[in-house]
Amino acid sequence: GAVVSQHPSRVICKSGTSVKIECRSLDFQATTMFWYRQFPKKSLMLMATSNEGSKATYEQGVEKDKFLINHASLTLSTLTVTSAHPEDSSFYICSASVPDSHEAFFGQGTRLTVV
């Protein structure tokens, strides 16, 4: 299957700092990528749709100024958690679909801890 790589897999940061998470499609180009958040023992919640070359589309209730998304190329989307607070601690995971296919592939996820 297609490969989606996410980095870092784990990050600890201090309150008030910003953290950038990268999502790359390694063997295909993705005009659209998706970012999800997962709380412990819960399902994945879609946060936003990352669109190459244009603004991201955020789901209701997701603060666009808190979670900045940039999709500067066909293989890279980044999620920046700005001015992080302990309540932003979570597991973040990205996905992309191979063109002309409806099958989604997911990155390894990033476990963010804000102290």
Partner 1 sequence: GIQVEQSPPDLILQEGANSTLRCNFSDSVNNLQWFHQNPWGQLINLFYIPSGTKQNGRLSATTVATERYSLLYISSSQTTDSGVYFCAVKTSYDKVIFGPGTSLSVIP
**How many chain residues touch partner 1 (CB under 8 A)?**
24
Q: Which of 49, 70, 80, 82 binds partner 1 (CB under 8 A)?
A: 49
Q: Which of 15, 46, 72, 83 binds partner 1 (CB under 8 A)?
A: 46
By CB under 8 A, residue 80 contacts partner 1? no
By CB under 8 A, residue 89 contacts partner 1? no
- Taking residue 76's Cβ as centre, other Cβ atoms within 10 Å add up to 17
Q: DSSP strand E in 1-115: where?
A: 4-7, 10-13, 19-25, 32-38, 44-51, 57-58, 67-73, 76-81, 90-97, 104-106, 110-114
Q: Which of 71, 95, 112, 114 binds partner 1 (CB under 8 A)?
A: 95
